[in-house]
Amino acid sequence: MRDLPAPAGSDLVVERPEGLYCPPGDFFLDPWRPVERAVITHAHADHARRGHASYLASAPSAGVLRARLGADIALHTLAWGEVVEHRGVRVSLHPAGHVLGAAGRGVRRD
Ligand SMILES: [Zn+2]
């Protein structure tokens, strides 16, 4: 997994008991406890866990995620490089070359 570094002193991503959290976007990155909104980088068990209310992941990872976590998960997918904005924070996923669908993530706020 490759992450784009947040600027020094940024509160764009902080650590919470549930996992890495983006306060302005109100979502978590690969959280280890159930949350409302989870951005999932890939389908390995240490990154993609059951119990989140909604998942955002790369389109190529959708099949593996549904097979692992259930066909009925609330899964939203992004094509590589596609940008989605949530509460003023832009999220994009980029191929990480780890397993099928594995993504590095971009989290940006202007
Ligand atoms: Zn992995």
Name the token pair of 80.
């590589």
Residue in the structure block whose two tokens are 């998942």: 55
Q: Ion ligand 1 — residues with CB under 5 Å?
A: 44
Residue 107 has a pLDDT of: 87
The pLDDT value recorded for residue 10 is: 67
pLDDT at 102: 86
> How far is 38 from 110, CA to CA, in rounded Å?
21
**pLDDT value for 85:** 95
The per-residue pLDDT for 5 is: 54
Q: How far, in Å, is the centroid of ligand 1 from the Cα of 39?
A: 14
- Global pTM reads 0.86
Q: How far apart are CA 91 and CA 72, in angstroms?
A: 23
Rounded to whole angstroms, the Cα distance separating 108 from 43 reads: 23
CA dist list (Å): 13 to 7, 44, 77, 82, 101: 10, 22, 21, 20, 23
Sites in the chain below the pLDDT cut of 50? 1
Ligand 1 geometric centre to CA of 73 (Å): 20
